Structure 1
Amino acid sequence: MNMEQQGSIAVNQLGYRNKDAKIARIAGEGNRRFRLVNHVSGEEVWQGQTLSAFEDAASGIMVSWGDFSAWEQPGTYRIEDEDGQSSYPFMISDVVYEEAHQALLKAFYYFRCGVELEEEYAGPWKHAPCHLTPALVYGEEPRRIDAKGGWHDAGDYGKYVAPGAKAVADLLLAYECYPTAFAEPLPLPESDGVMPDVLHECRYELEWMLRMQDSETGGVFHKLTTLQFPGPDVMPEEDHAELYITPVSATATGCFAGVMAMAARVYAAYDASFAAACLQAAERAWAWLELHPDYPGFRNPPEISTGEYGDEQDMDERYWAAAELYRTTGESRYHQAFQQFARQEAFDKYELGWADMGGYGTISYLMSEQEQDPELAVRLQAGLQQRAAELAAVSSRDGFGISLKPEQYIWGSNMLVMNHAMLLLIADRLSGSPAFERHALEHIHYLLGANVMGISYVTGLGTRSILYPHHRPSEGDGVEAPVPGLVSGGPNYGKQDDYAREHLAGRAPAASFADVMESYATNEVTIYWNSPAVFVLSHFI
């Protein structure tokens, strides 16, 4: 049921910081009176008039904005309109997003593979160790590799290098930009009061990635999965099918080189030997890339039907790897390689998706303390600011304040929502001006309930949050509540699953969502949808 059918008023169900802009999204024609009500006492504390309603192309409804930014008094409130319709309750407080930030980060612990999730840390979502058997290298049987550990990628139990690298990169960038946001322990089994838990968690994935580097060539295997997906309610420890490691790919190797060079820099202050191992691995991966300048894109072998993460274009991954290796080592050969890739027009230099890693290369170069090519740095900075301005312009026209055009409500649209918010904040950071911050914050409001569905797209956060994500442990663990802190993929106009095709036909792009396990095209979860959300929340706490 979308917002129009439900007749609700959409707000961020967690709330708003005292001095931030606060806008309720109200469905319906015309403009109308609305009031702010103390949710505990029922007392009206403030009243206002909405702006004129307009047709929102993405959601397919008429929507007006009720701006109550002027009210800064802490408390728990709700919005009511003149027809008696009410929003879900929300807070106004200086402390709104800390709990959400912790939950989004703690989700990575729940994605862990190869280790027992103990009740002390996992609560009712505990489970036994899983996927401990050494994996067969596909096409090289009987060669086996012990590649246990790391994070399950999504609602299934596959483990993939390129998406994992995006997730780790987002978290390490968040730590580099906002270290104080990670001062509080989660806690984790590794929590020691010395190294922040975000780095303990990233290390768990990085150590798995190190096992995925081919000891003979330095190239990096693309993924580790079973031949087919397990059943929808199979717990990880019950998934006993043979594990396979697929062949080396250039995209995995490029992502690996980039994230390992980044890790070498970040971990140097905490564990010099681990940092050195990461850098050595990155340099071996780079050597493989240099030996294989034109390498075919990855495709699943015929017997394997799990997630492919195919990518014909590997120049963006090489661009990112060169940037991180230069930033970490200062070696001119990496700078020269970066400059060469930067001249290419074959990839986008501001995207932050697992298939388009160019944005990470640009960000690394612009944030680097190494000597820069002045002309190139100016061009990349100008391009970043232009992209951010374009996103802000779309946000200003959108009924719910976000930067997605109707055609961008694709599989994992909430990743784009958070990627865009992340890019807006980084553009601010590199320009020294908070010009885009308010638009980034609207993206958080959208994720947490200020959307046409009137739902928080994060499990366990908000009065009405998703309950039935496409996530096998949440389906099979016997616990009524889903694993908390998981970001749903969100509305998907493509409707690529049977449930969505049958039940969401005719829905507008932003309303093409179903909170059911069967709708994997709209309601799956993944590590790399959580990771940019962690980055964005880090800015606001």
Structure 2
Amino acid sequence: MSEKRLRTIAVNQAGYSSGGDKLALFSWDTPRYHIIDIASGNVVFTGQTGANIEDKPSGCRVRSGDFSALTSPGEYRIEGAEGEQSAAFFIAEKPYQKLQRGLLKAFYYYRCGVELDGEYAGAWGHKACHLAEGTVIGQPGLRQDSSGGWHDAGDYGKYSGPGAKAVADLLLAWELYPAAFAGVHTLPESDGSLLDVLLECTVELDWLFKMQESGSGGVYHKLTTAHFPGLDVMPEEDTGELYFSPVSAAATGDFAGVMAMAARIYKPFDEAYAARCLEAARAAWSWLTAHPHVPGFTNPRGITTGEYGDKVDSDERFWAAAELFRTTGDEQFHSAALELAKLPFPKYSFGWGDMGGYGTLAYLLIGEAGTLPSLYAELREGLLAEADRLLRQSRHDGYRISLLEQDYIWGSNMLVMNHAMLLLAAEHFSGEQEYAACALDHLHYLLGRNVLGISYVSGFGEHAVMHPHHRPSVGDHVLEPVPGLVVGGPDRGLHDEYVKKHLRRKPAAQCYADHEDSYSTNEVTIYWNSPALFVTARFNC
């Protein structure tokens, strides 16, 4: 039991599907509970909890309460035997449609270089920002356009690799679950001819074009000021000199992969744009083949913003080769993918540093008939084996997710959602529904079914995060934070001063602080939102 004897009734605060399974999780030994209809005040369900699970990551003995028999749409709250209360939650046929729209709209709020006005931004608008040209480090006197794209995180840096991951997640979500994106028009550009998800991705893709070095095809690693601005500085007030950091192999591989993907996806809608994407991807691939051995990226002297260092680039090269082969059918890319697949890098990971999972998905989505059968079988079997491992871990976890105690790291919620992505990929290639059910458990965790009973998505849930480490949310002086942002979540390493002071000796899953100073647990990023959107889209089809 944790030192404060938490009594949390944890639910998915976004809600549950009327006809689906519904579990609440209790962090203490309580035998029974009841559910109240908030509108009427009536008790509509009484239930018994199950057996205890000793859950080391949370420090609690967890019991579950199954209320799947409650199917009537409405808003509810659970009460324990001694008056303990859950957050409010909904039951609806499609409970995650607003959530998906919010997760996608968050990318609009991340936009750089344009004014966000009241009609579309509500209370969270700001003036156009970061319009100045940037200096290319290592090339004296060279300055070039740097505007556009998405701010990466709680600061205003823009990074090629993480941006590519975020776009890839969104494009994959549309490719696998297109029905989930129909009829959504929430952007200034929405006109019904191109879905919002594809319109929003072009914002980042158009900026990524600017990150490709003219003449060489290589891609600059990042674009930032020399140092982070203060936490209350609004985007338009961040006027420090902008710097393009040098080309890196990791950034170039990610760029080639996402541009090849975009070329395929946008071709039915805009052939000229698709051709531009493919030309850029081929140029990046030419740079990669001309530079087979490149040192990992480190920050240039005088730059202290996020490094996103990556010493291994074989995973990014594999993604680039597989994606180019899928898009073009060109055997040179197939041969390259076959050779790269022999190297020992993680092939089922979707993190910004380990991108091999995207290459695996690209190859498998071609289909067995268009690939080398032995590699196809190897990658498919490996993917399913990894999904089975996550499934086993989830079954032994009190909160039904796949994180072990040591997995509560900086950005643990990215792991939660990336694991859910992998489980859904396993469902796609196997047809087994248990993978999807496990992925949904991960979404439940993100939306409040965790030991702290907090929704880790701003604006979604009665007890949602309120104080993210996000400069616009701090500097705009609006009470509510920018909505739809996924925060990093518990980090047992206690990597910032606030949590070192306030969370010492806490169990791993409780090492979270909803405070603007806690950048290691409460910052936001585009590549935490993107896998959450992918997972949510699956359950909106």
- TM-score tier after normalising by the smaller chain length: over 0.9
Q: How does 1:3-402 map to 2 (within 5 A)?
A: 5=5, 7-29=7-29, 32-345=31-344, 347-369=345-367, 371-402=370-401
Cα deviation 1:439-479 (Å, max 9, x = unaligned): 11111111111101111000000001111000000000121
Amino acid across the alignment from 2:134: A
Give the CA deviation at 1:422: 0.9
Amino acid across the alignment from 2:379: L
**What corresponds to 1:538 in structure 2?**
537
Give the CA deviation at 1:67: 1.1
Give the CA deviation at 1:336: 0.5
Give the CA deviation at 1:70: 2.1
Amino acid across the alignment from 2:258: V
Contact 1:37 1:43 in 2 (8 A): yes
**What corresponds to 1:407 in structure 2?**
406
**What corresponds to 2:476 in structure 1?**
477
Give the CA deviation at 1:319: 0.3
Structure 1 residue matching 2:461: 3-state secondary structure: coil
Contact 2:486 2:524 in 1 (8 A): yes
Determine the C-alpha separation between the residues in 2 that align with 1:305 and 1:476.
Answer: 22
Determine the C-alpha separation between the residues in 2 that align with 1:235 and 1:188.
Answer: 22
Pick closer, same or farther for the CA change 1:323–1:3 going to 2, 3 Å: farther
Contact 1:4 1:61 in 2 (8 A): no
Amino acid across the alignment from 1:105: L
Amino acid across the alignment from 1:368: I
Give the CA deviation at 1:73: 2.0
> Number of matched residues?
538
Cα deviation 1:20-59 (Å, max 9, x = unaligned): 1111111213x50122222222222222211111221110
Structure 1 residue matching 2:371: 3-state secondary structure: coil
Cα deviation 1:97-152 (Å, max 9, x = unaligned): 00000000000000000011111111111111000111000121210111210000
Amino acid across the alignment from 1:272: E
Pick closer, same or farther for the CA change 1:5–1:237 going to 2, 3 Å: farther
Contact 1:102 1:186 in 2 (8 A): no
Identity of aligned residues (%): 55
Q: How does 1:461-472 map to 2 (within 5 A)?
A: 461-472=460-471
Contact 2:488 2:521 in 1 (8 A): yes
Determine the C-alpha separation between the residues in 2 that align with 1:479 and 1:86.
Answer: 28
Give the CA deviation at 1:95: 2.0
- More deviation, 247-256/67-76: 67-76
Determine the C-alpha separation between the residues in 1 that align with 2:32 and 2:124.
Answer: 45
Structure 2 residue matching 1:258: 3-state secondary structure: helix
- More deviation, 141-150/306-315: 141-150
Contact 1:163 1:528 in 2 (8 A): yes
**What corresponds to 1:507 in structure 2?**
506
Amino acid across the alignment from 2:287: W
Amino acid across the alignment from 1:170: D
> Could you state the TM-score of these two structures normalised by the residue count of structure 1?
0.98
Pick closer, same or farther for the CA change 1:186–1:57 going to 2, 3 Å: farther
Cα deviation 1:186-227 (Å, max 9, x = unaligned): 411111101101001000000000011001211000000000
Give the CA deviation at 1:433: 2.4
Amino acid across the alignment from 2:313: D
- More deviation, 119-128/37-46: 37-46
Q: Which runs of 5+ in 2 are unaligned?
A: none
Runs of 4+ in 1 over 3 A off after TM superposition: 2-6
Determine the C-alpha separation between the residues in 2 that align with 1:86 and 1:216.
Answer: 62
Give the CA deviation at 1:5: 4.8
Q: Which runs of 5+ in 1 are unaligned?
A: none
Contact 1:447 1:456 in 2 (8 A): yes
Amino acid across the alignment from 2:203: Y
> Could you state the TM-score of these two structures normalised by the residue count of structure 2?
0.98
Contact 2:256 2:285 in 1 (8 A): yes
Amino acid across the alignment from 1:7: R
Determine the C-alpha separation between the residues in 1 that align with 2:14 and 2:6.
Answer: 20
Query: Cα RMSD between the aligned structures?
Result: 1.2
Give the CA deviation at 1:420: 0.6
Determine the C-alpha separation between the residues in 2 that align with 1:465 and 1:167.
Answer: 23
Determine the C-alpha separation between the residues in 2 that align with 1:266 and 1:274.
Answer: 10
Contact 1:153 1:159 in 2 (8 A): yes
Determine the C-alpha separation between the residues in 1 that align with 2:212 and 2:301.
Answer: 23
